[in-house]
Chain A
Amino acid sequence: MSNFLNKLSAIALGVSLAIGPVVPAMAQTTLLNVSYDPTRELYKDFNAAFAAHWKKETGEDVAIRQSHGGSGKQARAVIDGLEADVVTLALESDINAIAERTGKIPADWRGRLPNNSSPYTSTIVFLVRKGNPKGIQNWGDLVKGDVQIVTPNPKTSGGARWNYLAAWAWANEEYKGDQDKIRAYITELFKRAPVLDTGARGSTVTFAQRQIGDVLLAWENEAYLAGKEFGEDSFDIVWPPISILAEPPVTVVDGNADAKGTRKVAEAYLQYLYSDEGQNLAAKHFYRPSKRDVVAPELLQKLPDIKLVTIDEPVFGGWAKAQPEHFGDGGIFDQLYKPGK
């Protein structure tokens, strides 16, 4: 019996030795950037660039840790105590939620950095099968013939809300603000979605790997990324003449940064997103830079000019109005979308 116990304790000892130290070698300063899903590749590159820049400027080492997930979920985690030094999320309303519930971010955070604290913007485009067999050029083409669309669920996904708003913006122009016609269009559009995934990445996988649907409504950068990951010759990107301007905001979480003493480097980190290098990296990952004049022309070529409607225009009246009106419980989306009908 004692033999058996000896073996057991030997195993336990072996395991604990094998694990070794779990804490990785610490750089002088560590920042935690809590971000949303599609920015993974961008921040991988940007973090390395900033660390090199900071080392050159100050001689200090800085390591940046990343956490990615759905924008709303990430905001919730910060509210519950995830110690983000900076948040780089998809929606202004997610950062507002952190500000309201924790007081760790001042209410006027949006004015602290240029361009409403959005160093880069993005828009919604169409990803279609190679050669565009269904001839999709504009939002109206999405409800013609037997076209099937793929989009995530606007109730759970930030990206899907932009999809919905972009479609609404087009319909608003097309039907000259006729509410009944706009609603009829949106209803028809979502009837053509065979599945509503919970997040943007899920939808991309549905479209690209599971080969469901004729057109994916996607972030511009997701559309490019899907081409890169699943083969450039499988898809074409179509820019509709009109779409939505999404402004993903960034800010320092003052409460956390002050407690950890990282405010200076956290602020420099976000500032650096507006630098020439930061703007070029954003464009390289297919985000639309806020300072186009510092970005290489060949990168800008990939982000063609189209008419972009912002959430602050009268048709939507800002997030504070649009969020409950369209996506709240019993809101317009709930009224229009009836699954299985």
Chain B
Amino acid sequence: MHDNARSPAASARKPETFRDAASETPFVRHLLIFAALAYLAFFLLLPLVSIFVEAFRRGAGAYFDALIEPDALAAIRLTLLVAAIAVPLNLVFGVAAAWAIAKFEFKGKAFLITLIDLPFSISPVISGLVYVLLFGSQSVLGPLLKSHGIEILFAVPGIVLATVFVTFPFVARELIPLMQDQGTGDEEAALSLGASGWQTFWRVTLPNIKWGLLYGVLLCNARAMGEFGAVSVVSGHIRGLTNTMPLHVEILYNEYNFVAAFAVATLLALLALVTLVLKAVLERRFGAEIAASRKH
């Protein structure tokens, strides 16, 4: 490639030594495409299909029975509740953090970015254990809170905390590069035209980042509903009370109740599919806008 750019004469002299990057023989091309597709089918499609096959093994009746069973409903409700708290919290935090990092210069910025990435780099089990150490009966805080009637561990607040912790990088991570790319030009223009800080945020910054934000929220939500490790540590596994959907799947599986386990698993799989479809639809419908906001 380098030679190519140097002189047209060189390429004219020995044209046969330069090939187009995509000029493999049809056989090789098909082989590569086939390999990639087979790989995808084996690692993604096959497991996905097998979940649904397993879930409907005893027919649609057994499938829906498993979903309307009271413990399953409680698990679904709890999962939705946890996501409904964790996602908005992380949305606000993510925007604030990305805003601060992308638009301002301050000491310790690199440190803050590293800190945001922390939940990505530590094992979810540790993320859960942190809260056991903080709020458990053997800790300093636990008995103090308990004497005031506040329960955190092995109750809903603990599950929410653990979920917020493992999902908080999603929105911020999505927005930081986007906002850094966009720079501060638009905001400066708005401010110099007399807009207040809030006005600038609502009318300039937010519209610029809305698609990245939405994408971050989708990912954050998927993980919040799907988180297993950290939640498992702080849950206490009380049926119908502190079991989220992923935990419920494990319990059913361990009870040899494979149909019900996979039935609940299909809900999680569907959630993943809906997330993907939403993302695809958004990109198709607002593709130009997204591209514009990305380049800007």
Contact = CB atoms under 8 A, between A and B. Distances in A.
B255 interface: yes
A12 interface: yes
Given A67-B239, A69-B237, A82-B236, A22 B136 contact: no
Given A19-B80, A24-B74, A81 B154 contact: yes
B156 interface: yes
A4 B135 CA distance: 39
Nearest to A200: B254
Nearest to A204: B256
Contact of A1 (B135, B203, B254): B203
Contacts of B237: 67-69, 77
Contacts of B267: none
Interface in A200-244: 201, 205, 225, 229-230
A83 B137 CA distance: 10
B210 A1 contact: yes
A80 interface: yes
B119 interface: no
Given A1-B206, A4-B210, A101-B138, A22 B240 contact: no
B236 A77 contact: yes
Given A1-B203, A4-B210, A67-B236, A19 B84 contact: yes
A188 to B, nearest CB: 31
Interface residues of A, number: 34
B45 interface: no
B261 to A, nearest CB: 12
Interface residues of B, number: 35
B202 interface: yes
Contact of A201 (B132, B153, B240, B254): B254
A194 B179 CA distance: 54
B202 A1 contact: yes
B249 interface: no
A19 B207 contact: no
A217 to B, nearest CB: 19
A299 B74 CA distance: 35
Contacts of B146: 81
B251 interface: yes
B137 A79 contact: yes
Contact of A77 (B142, B154, B206, B207): B154
A19 B77 contact: yes
A82 to B, nearest CB: 5
A229 B258 CA distance: 10
Contact of A15 (B80, B132, B138): B80
B78 interface: yes
A4 B270 CA distance: 25
A80 B239 contact: no
B78 A22 contact: yes
Interface in B220-256: 236-241, 251, 254-256
Contacts of A20: 77
B88 interface: yes
Interface string B134-164: 0111100010001000010110100000000
A79 B203 CA distance: 52
A119 to B, nearest CB: 22
A18 B251 CA distance: 25
A12 B87 CA distance: 10
Given A1-B202, A19-B84, A81-B142, A102 B77 contact: no
A16 interface: yes
Contacts of B81: 19, 22
Contacts of A53: none
Which of B132, B136, B237, B238 lies at the interface centre, i.e. has the most chain A CB atoms within 10 A of its CB? Answer: B238
Contacts of B202: 1-2
A18 B80 CA distance: 9
A181 interface: no
B138 A65 contact: no
A32 interface: yes
A32 B80 contact: no
A40 interface: yes
B29 to A, nearest CB: 39
A12 B210 CA distance: 16
16 contacts: A1-B207, A15-B83, A16-B84, A19-B81, A22-B77, A22-B78, A24-B74, A32-B238, A65-B238, A67-B238, A77-B154, A77-B236, A80-B132, A80-B138, A82-B154, A225-B256
Q: Sorted from nearest, which 3 A-B pairs have the closest CB atoms?
A: A81-B137, A80-B136, A229-B256
